[in-house]
Amino acid sequence: MRVSEAVTTWRVGSATITRVEEQLGITNLPCEKYFPNFEREVLQRHRDWVAPDHYSPQHDRFVTSVHSWLIRVDGLTILLDTCGGNHKDRPWTHRFHQLDTPYLARLRAGGAAPEDIDMVLCTHLHADHVGWNTMLRDGRWVPTFPNAKYLYSRTDDAYWDKRQNPAMADDPRHMAYEDSVLPVVQSGQAVLVDDGYDLTSKLSVEAAPGHSPGHVLFKLVDGGMRAVFCGDVIHHALQVYAPHWTHMADEWPADAVASRQRMLQSCAELGALLFPIHFGAPHVARIDHGARGFSVRFVPGTT
């Protein structure tokens, strides 16, 4: 795992968006497992740009990032998706098991202390998007951001909570709900949101189901400029060229493909800057209409 100290920022209208890295490195699993319908010829066709930032030839594995987006707009300080977190038991995924990373130091390097965060946004409730929602204090999981409202999708909350969905009791992934979502519900800081919810006049929620049942996008429109914070609607830049590749953790793969197609189409039509959570460097991209579908144009930030 490589850890970067560099803080990189993008501007969209009056908003600034800063990347806060937790980890950057190769995936747990080979390409054929990461995307069950992976096609090696697509990788070969794009080999000139995928290595080394998006694919490691040495390991024959994809390179992916895990980071948050720190958004400042209209006087608000917003943290979107909170990575894996420290000291969490994740026996099903060693990349997130019992981590000890300097994530909060990097958040501070981005200019925000935990108490500065006004809102935490979660695109969905998988372990690598909710981890820093809480931290361990005196043996208990407590909200990391004491002054924040945490926005969760109502549909995802109902799906991952074993009290609401008894089938989840047999799925080890419900551990992420117990230690990283539920303590925030119990502290009274959680706000459950649905499709069409407006956070501010510039930021809104749109349903994008598939990777998880209640997965949402956050859309920013500011001064005529647009950004889409898409969570895991897309995992890897090669999926821009192969939107039909499903991810191993997609709950509803066919819906995930439909949500990805819809999002790519919207980004290409409206010129929105795409801020995924797992793209390798430089992490942010524009989507264009290409000869065979869509194409990706990376947009580096400034340091």
CB of 27 to Zn ion, least distance (A): 11
Helices (H), ranges, the chain: 31-34, 40-45, 47-50, 103-109, 127-130, 154-160, 174-180, 182-186, 253-270
**Could you say whether residue 128 binds Zn ion (CB under 5 A)?**
yes
Residue 25 to residue 231: CA distance in whole angstroms: 18
What does the chain come to in residues? 303
- Are the C-beta atoms of residues 248 and 34 closer than 8 Å to each other? yes
Which DSSP string do the residues of 176-193 spell out, in sequence order? HHHHHTHHHHHTT-EEEE
Going 57 to 59 to 61 to 64, the CA torsion angle's sign is negative
**Which region, judged by CB under 5 A, interacts with Zn ion, from 21-29, 67-75, 82-90, 228-236?**
228-236
Residues 156, 161, 179, 232: which binds Zn ion (CB under 5 A)? 232
Q: Is 156 in the site for Zn ion (CB under 5 A)?
A: no
Least distance in Å: CB of 298 to Zn ion? Answer: 20
In the complex, minimum distance from the CB of residue 278 to Zn ion, in angstroms, rounded to a whole number? 6
HEC secondary structure over 253-271:
HHHHHHHHHHHHHHHHHHC
Strands 149-153, 134-137: pairing kind: unpaired
Start-to-end CA span in the chain (Å): 22
Q: How far apart are CA 248 and CA 236, in angstroms?
A: 13
Q: How near is the Cβ of 277 to Zn ion at its closest, in Å?
A: 6
Phi-psi bin for 70: left (phi > 0), alpha (psi -120 to 50), beta?
beta
- The three-class DSSP label of residue 300 is coil
Minimum Å gap between C-beta 231 and Zn ion is: 7
Residue 179 engages Zn ion in binding (rule: CB under 5 A): no
**What does the per-residue mask of binding to Zn ion show for 40-79, with x meaning CB under 5 A?**
----------------------------------------
The distance of closest approach from Cβ of residue 137 to Zn ion in the complex, given in angstroms and rounded to an integer, is: 26
CB nearer to Zn ion: give 18 or 212. Answer: 212
Interface map 190-219 toward Zn ion (x if CB under 5 A): ------------------------------
With binding defined as CB under 5 A, does residue 222 bind Zn ion?
no
Our CB check for Zn ion shows the closer of 127 and 242 to be 127
Residues binding Zn ion: number (CB under 5 A) = 2
Q: Least CB distance from residue 68 to Zn ion, whole Å?
A: 12
Cβ proximity to Zn ion: between 18 and 68 the closer is 68
Stretch that binds Zn ion, among 7-15, 38-46, 179-187, 229-237 (CB under 5 A): 229-237
Tell me the window of 1-9, 124-132, 180-188, 281-289 that interacts with Zn ion (CB under 5 A): 124-132
Task: Kindly report the backbone phi and psi dihedral angles of residue 254, in degrees, each rounded to the nearest multiple of 5, phi listed first.
Answer: -65, -40
Q: Whose Cβ is closer to Zn ion: residue 20's or residue 73's? A: 20
Q: Which residues of 253-269 are buried (b: 16+ CB within 10 A; e: fewer)?
A: bebbbebbeebbebbbe
Residues near Zn ion (CB under 5 A) are: 128, 232
